[in-house]
Amino acid sequence: MDKCYYKEFIEDEKQFYLHEAGFDSREEQLFRLRVYDGKTLEEAAEIMGYCSRTVERINQKMKKKILKAAPMYYRGVSLKYN
């Protein structure tokens, strides 16, 4: 199952996570494909040139970084991205 909760992010959240989550280049590429282009993990794997299992691992690392950065977003740190 490929549930993409990123689709619910408002633009401010998207920008915040791009700048504050500490994504590496593969995570950033996957984040952009998922959030801005609405791609599934399988579609992203094809575009990125990786097998689906690799993209699933990248996605898991990305989610952990988002969850780690999330408390800063709700404390108002994100105001600089408005």
Q: What is the DSSP string of 18-80?
A: HHHS---HHHHHHHHHHHTS---HHHHHHHHT--HHHHHHHHHHHHHHHHHHHHHHHTTGGGG
| Residue 44 lies inside a defined structural domain of this protein | yes
Q: How many structural domains is the chain composed of? A: 1
Residue 10 maps to a domain: no
Is 42 a domain residue? yes
Question: Would residue 6 count as lying in a domain?
Answer: no
pLDDT tens per residue across span 29-61: 999 999 999 999 999 999 999 999 999 999 999
Flag whether 19 is in a domain. no
pLDDT for 29: 98
Specify if 7 maps to a domain: no
The CA distance from 73 to 17, in Å, is: 8
Domain that holds residue 57: 24-75
CB 35 within 8 A of CB 6: yes
pLDDT for 80 beyond 80: no
CA distance 15 to 28: 11
In this structure, is residue 8 part of a structural domain?
no
What pTM, to 2 d.p., does this model score?
0.83
In a domain, 54, yes or no: yes
Percent of all residues in the chain with a pLDDT value above 70, rounded to a whole number: 83
